[in-house]
Amino acid sequence: MNRKFEQIDWEFFSLDEIFTTIQRGKRLTKKNQIKGDIPYISSTKYNNGVDGFIGNEENVRKYSNCLTIANSGSVGNIFYHDYEFIASDHVTALVNEELVKEHYMFLIASISMIGEKYSFNREISDDRIKREKIKLPAVSPDEPDWEFMKEYIESKQEIISDLPPQVNLNVVSDERKLSDVTWDTIKISDLFEIDKTVTQVNDKELLPYISAKKMRNGLKEFSNDFTNAKAGNTITWNKIGDGGAGLAYYQETPYVVDSINVMVLKPLFNMNRYSGLFIVGILSQYHGIFGHGYTLTDKRFSMLKIKIPIIEETGRIDLEFMEQYMKKKENEVLEKH
């Protein structure tokens, strides 16, 4: 792909300009579902929205090669389906028969930002969806640049295809469980400092933009504005956000951060991806405690404490256990696939 993001024009398009069909699925209660092998798409945020497999043929709406967006429940979750499925009334199908998989995959990133405006108490109706606008590469104010979008996604798939076809399992030498280690209560500020510096990064095309989202590791979009660039091997902690306040995420590579709503924690010890992921789980216990009326401020950070595994003889945090424990968990996931 020769063209880059900064070399193309962008325009706003309403979703009813992009999709030829915007239609909610039909209600189908559990007792009326017939066992079968057709995916039933509902508002779950897991398994690409698949809530089960059914065989109903009457009073259902079937789709394929399109997107679904959850209009209730996990509002705003959006998935691509390249197979035939039945849509529940908790999702709306977004269809354009002229689009291919690469187009849909590009659209997901832009459309997913719509969900931030809605919640369980404010559902997305089909009329609202039709009026929503997203910014897309454009050939003209009236025509999206579908060629660029397809080329961009294909270029990313080329990178993925260069990865090794198999992933080796981690070598685990420590089989201790959570109940087998010593835990101690430690101030978070003794383990991390708030990183307010800007990191110099290479002139890359794009960096992940991390905001106070409650999913996708905080990823909102990709940005070529490096004003608030941060180094990898740090933790982002949501200070505020709809349902996301208190959630922590490990960031392995450089990224750009929404510094107003997200706190960046730089480790004062030799953290790696595994120990970082372990600590993220502990920090996220504050999810549900912080919110719009009670935000994660610098002052509160300085007083917060967590329980963490330690080496009893020295009192130091047990990095080896955390790494080994997370490697075991990763192996369990890999073995299922």
Q: Each residue of 14-33: pLDDT tens digit?
A: 999 999 999 999 999 888 99
pLDDT at 317 over 90: yes
β-sheet bridge partners, residue 24: 92
- The H or E element that residue 14 is part of is strand 9-14
pLDDT at 289: 83
Per-residue pLDDT of 232-283, as tens digits, reads 999 999 988 666 888 999 999 999 999 888 999 999 999 999 999 999 999 9
Going by C-alpha positions, the residue among 63, 67, 99, 98 that lies closest to residue 84 is 63
Which of helix, strand or coil describes residue 102? helix
Please state, in angstroms and rounded to a whole number, the distance separating the CA atoms of residues 11 and 7.
13
Please state, in angstroms and rounded to a whole number, the distance separating the CA atoms of residues 140 and 40.
38
Do 86 and 41 form a contact (C-beta atoms < 8 A)?
yes
pLDDT at 95: 96
Confidence class for position 292, pLDDT limits 50, 70, 90 = low
Confidence class for position 117, pLDDT limits 50, 70, 90 = low
pLDDT at 337 over 70: no
CA atoms within 13 A on the CB side of 113: 17
pLDDT at 96: 96
Please state, in angstroms and rounded to a whole number, the distance separating the CA atoms of residues 197 and 37.
53
Listed in sequence order, the residues at least 6 apart from 127 whose beta carbon sits closer than 8 Å to its beta carbon are: none
pLDDT at 207: 87
Going by C-alpha positions, the residue among 224, 230, 219, 308 that lies closest to residue 263 is 230
Mean local confidence (pLDDT), 3-11: 77
Mean local confidence (pLDDT), 104-117: 80
Torsion of CA 249, 254, 255, 259, to 10 degrees: 80
Going by C-alpha positions, the residue among 321, 320, 327 that lies closest to residue 176 is 321
Listed in sequence order, the residues at least 6 apart from 108 whose beta carbon sits closer than 8 Å to its beta carbon are: 67, 78, 79, 80
Choice between 94 and 119, residue whose per-residue pLDDT is larger: 94
User: What do you get for the CA distance between the two ends of the chain, in Å?
Assistant: 32
CA atoms within 13 A on the CB side of 109: 18
Per-residue pLDDT of 127-181, as tens digits, reads 888 888 888 999 999 999 999 999 888 887 655 455 455 556 788 888 899 999 9
pLDDT at 295: 85
Confidence class for position 34, pLDDT limits 50, 70, 90 = very high
Confidence class for position 192, pLDDT limits 50, 70, 90 = very high
pLDDT at 159: 53
- The H or E element that residue 130 is part of is helix 126-131
pLDDT at 143: 94
Which of helix, strand or coil describes residue 292? coil
Count of residues in the chain: 337
Mean local confidence (pLDDT), 216-240: 89
Phi, psi of 254 (to 5 degrees): -55, 150
Please state, in angstroms and rounded to a whole number, the distance separating the CA atoms of residues 279 and 274.
9
Confidence class for position 76, pLDDT limits 50, 70, 90 = confident
Q: Are strands 182-187 and 35-41 parallel, antiparallel or unpaired?
A: unpaired
What is the reported pTM? Answer: 0.55
